[in-house]
Amino acid sequence: MASNRNWIYETLNHDNTNGVPYNFSFSPSPLAKLEEHYNCSSVEQLLDFPIRMTGTDSIKPLYASPDDFGDVARDEFGVGWSTNRIDRGTPLIPCLPEADLQEYSFPDAAAEYRFKEIKKWCDGNRDNFTIIWVGDLWERATFMRGMDNILLDIILHPEFVHELLAGLTEHITTTMQILFECGQFDCIAVSDDYGTQKGMLMSPGHWREFIKPQLEKIYSMARDNGRKTFHHSCGNIQEIIPDFIELGLDILHPIQPEAMDIVKTKQQFGDKLTFCGGIPTQSVLPDGTPDQVRNEVRRLKNIMGQAGGYILEPGITVQADVPLENIVAMIEEARIQV
């Protein structure tokens, strides 16, 4: 039997002889319920999930508890986030009140604390397909400036937007270079939302002007260093999927079924790209029965998994509104390979 790592590479090569692989990520509440259900400290190890993900350490972890940080936690970039025990919180306090970088200093991408656990993690997951999150670009800009402001800046202060995204790209590529020296892993991941459920946050033309050239630098650096590329963007981004293909992206995530016709998207682009996601997180997972969850997982495996190029996963990280029995049904059905 092929290793988990080879299984994903075969999927990226559009070879589906070993079935449809899967990937799951959980916010703290459902993860704690799963660990109690399976009586374990690591669900991904107990159930041998084929994909493993990590990222560099941060002074503000993704899920910052108010017990540790109070009501507001500041990240390395200076953004103030709300804290709670359920999700990642909300960026409340931008660090760039004006469209001006003269007085701003980007955080040190090479800070030693960011990389302390990476080699150990790489060594411990070498039989799996390993993905390391390297940062966010446009999404980070929205945190730093505020969504309304940065969208106005595209029109009113375009040079500032170019400068900000260039600085963030340098932070990401510096991070990548250090990661390449820390250990062997398979893939870099960028988190960068571009869409709402009805369409893009900006015009495709503006996306190609401001964001695409920076992504080209990131993807090219990964490719030159023998790594695959994984890109997360929520929402309906149908119009720029050809651009991702042109840039050489390997895996597009999370293809939200609430925002796009994912079957049509697979038919149109599935020979050139691997899609990861597709399980509805606004209907079936939180509101359906376990049998409905199983049926949806089987349907996606049968339709989306044809000719490879598909990794089963929920449309977003599993949140606290999903019943435990539905999460278990999803995992167990995903693990059935025929």
Q: Taking 50 as the threshold, does the pLDDT of residue 141 lie above it? A: yes
Tell me which of 77-81, 83-87, 160-164, 330-334 is least confident: 83-87
* 15 pLDDT tier (thresholds 50, 70, 90): confident
Q: Whole-number mean pLDDT of the chain?
A: 96
Show the domains of the chain with their CATH numbers: 4-61+117-335 (3.20.20.210)
Using alpha carbons, list the distances in angstroms from residue 268 to 177, 228, 234, 308, 317: 34, 22, 19, 14, 26
For 320-337, letters b (16+ CB in 10 Å) and e give: eebbeebbbbbbebbeee
Confidence (pLDDT) at 18: 81
Per-residue pLDDT tens over the stretch 27-72: 999 999 999 999 999 999 999 999 999 999 999 999 999 999 999 9
Q: What's the rounded Cα separation, in Å, for the pair 243 and 213?
A: 11
Mean pLDDT of 160-179: 98
Assign residue 54 a region: left if phi > 0, alpha if psi is -120 to 50, beta otherwise?
beta
What pLDDT shows up at residue 315?
87
pLDDT, tens digit, for every residue of 243-271? 999 999 999 999 999 999 999 999 999 99
Per-residue pLDDT, 2: 62
What mean pLDDT comes out for the span 100-114? 97
Candidate from 11-20, 100-109, 157-166, 327-336 with smallest mean pLDDT = 11-20
Stated as kind and residue range, the H or E segment containing 241 is helix 241-247
Nearest-angstrom CA–CA distance, 116 and 217: 26
How far is 101 from 69, CA to CA, in rounded Å? 28
Q: Transcribe 25-54 into DSSP letters.
A: -B-HHHHHHHHHHHT-S-HHHHTT-SEEEE
- In this predicted structure, the answer to whether residue 1 has a pLDDT above a threshold of 60 is no
Would you say residue 138 has pLDDT above 70?
Answer: yes
Cα→Cα distances 310→66, 126, 313, Å = 38, 22, 9
